[in-house]
Amino acid sequence: MRWMYHIGRYMRLLAKSVRRPEKFGVFKELLMTELESIGLQSVGIVALLSIFMGAVICLQTAHQIGGWIPVYTIGFTVRQTMILEFSPTLIPVILAGKVGSNIASQIGTMRVTEQIDALDIMGVNSAGYLILPKVVAGVFIVPFLVVLSMVLGVGAGAWIGVATGLSPLADFEYGMQVDFRVFDVVYALTKTVVFGFILTSVSAYHGYYAEGGALEVGRSSTKAVVWSVVIIMVSNLVLTQLLLN
C-alpha cells in the first residue's frame, strides 16, 4: 500500500506545481536556466553516446547479415533502431541519471537546509517555483536532444559503414529511405515528451520530500534515478502497445 501513498503524494505535488507562477518574468528566467541546464549541458553526453551507438549498430548489423541479405539492410536497421528505440528510450534513461540526480539533489539540499521552508513562509509556491520550470524545460528540450541523437546516430552509422567498407554510402542511403514512415518519428517523439515529463517530475518529487541530512539527499537522488528509469521503462511498454496498435 506504500506505493499508493507515493502516487497520491506525487499527484498532489504535481497539482501544486502547475499553479500560475507568482511572477511570469521570474518563471521565464528560471525556464531559460533549466533549458540550458537540462538541454545545452546534456548535448555533449547525448552526442557521444549517439555516435557510438549508431556506429556499433552498423558494425553489428553488417556482421549479422553475412552476405546473403542486401547491404542496404544496414542503413535500414541503423535508422529503425535509432529512431524507434535507442534514441527515444536510452537517451531519456541516460538523462534520468544525469539530469534526474541533479534535480533531486538540488531540490533535496534546498529542503534539508530549510530553503524550501523559507520560500513557503514568504508566500512563494515552492513547488511551482522549483518544479514547474524543470518539468516544462524537460518536456520541451528532451525531444530536441532525441532528434539530435537520431541524426548523429544514423550519421555515425553511415560514416563507420563507409569507412570500414562494410556498406557503400549509396546502399546505406537507400536503406535509410526504404519503408520510411513519418509516424515512426511521431511515435518516438511522443514517447520522449512523456519521458521528459517523467524524468523531471519524478526526480523533483524525490528531492522535494527528502528528509534529514546529506545522506538522505544522496539516497533521494539514487531513488530518483532508479524510479525514473523504472517508470520510463514501464511507460515505454504501455506507450508502444498503445501507439503501435
Partner 1 sequence: MIELKNLDKSFGDHHVLKDVNATFERGKVNFVIGRSGSGKSVMTKCTVGLIEPDRGRVIYDGRDFTAMSQKERKVIRQEIGMLFQGSALFDSMTVQENVEFPLRMFSDMSDAERVKRAEACLERVELSDASGRFPAECSGGMQKRVGIARAIAMNPKYLFCDEPNSGLDPQTAIVIDNLISDITAEYGITTVVVSHDMNSVMEASDTIHFVHQGSICWQGDRAELLRGGVQELEDFVFASDLMRKIRKTGH
Residues that bind partner 1 (CB under 8 A): 22-23, 26, 110, 113-115, 117-118, 120-124
Q: Where are the alpha helices (DSSP H) in 18-125?
A: 24-34, 43-65, 72-81, 91-95, 101-112, 115-122
Judged by beta carbon, residue 23 or residue 181, the one nearer partner 1 is 23
Find, among 208, 197, 207, 204, the residue nearest to 231 by Cα. 197
Closest approach, Cβ 139 to partner 1, in A, equals 23
Judged by beta carbon, residue 11 or residue 163, the one nearer partner 1 is 11
Whole-angstrom distance, CA of residue 135 vs CA of residue 170: 42
Closest approach, Cβ 113 to partner 1, in A, equals 6
Judged by beta carbon, residue 51 or residue 130, the one nearer partner 1 is 130
**Cell (9 digits) for 113:** 537546509
Other beta carbons within 10 angstroms of residue 85's beta carbon come to: 14
75, burial (CB in 10 Å: exposed 0-12, middle 13-18, buried 19+) = buried
Q: Where are the alpha helices (DSSP H) in 165-181?
A: 169-177
- How many CA atoms within 13 Å lie on the side-chain side of 106? 14
Closest approach, Cβ 134 to partner 1, in A, equals 14
Judged by beta carbon, residue 48 or residue 121, the one nearer partner 1 is 121
Closest approach, Cβ 144 to partner 1, in A, equals 25
Judged by beta carbon, residue 36 or residue 177, the one nearer partner 1 is 36
| Maximum CA extent, the chain | 71
Judged by beta carbon, residue 12 or residue 63, the one nearer partner 1 is 12
Judged by beta carbon, residue 25 or residue 165, the one nearer partner 1 is 25
- Could you tell me if 92 and 192 are in contact, meaning their C-beta atoms sit under 8 angstroms apart? yes
Q: What sign results for the dihedral spanned by CA atoms 195, 200, 204, 206?
A: positive
Residues 6+ apart with CB under 8 A from 239: 190, 191, 194
Closest approach, Cβ 222 to partner 1, in A, equals 22
Closest approach, Cβ 16 to partner 1, in A, equals 10
Closest approach, Cβ 32 to partner 1, in A, equals 14
- Could you tell me if 51 and 153 are in contact, meaning their C-beta atoms sit under 8 angstroms apart? yes
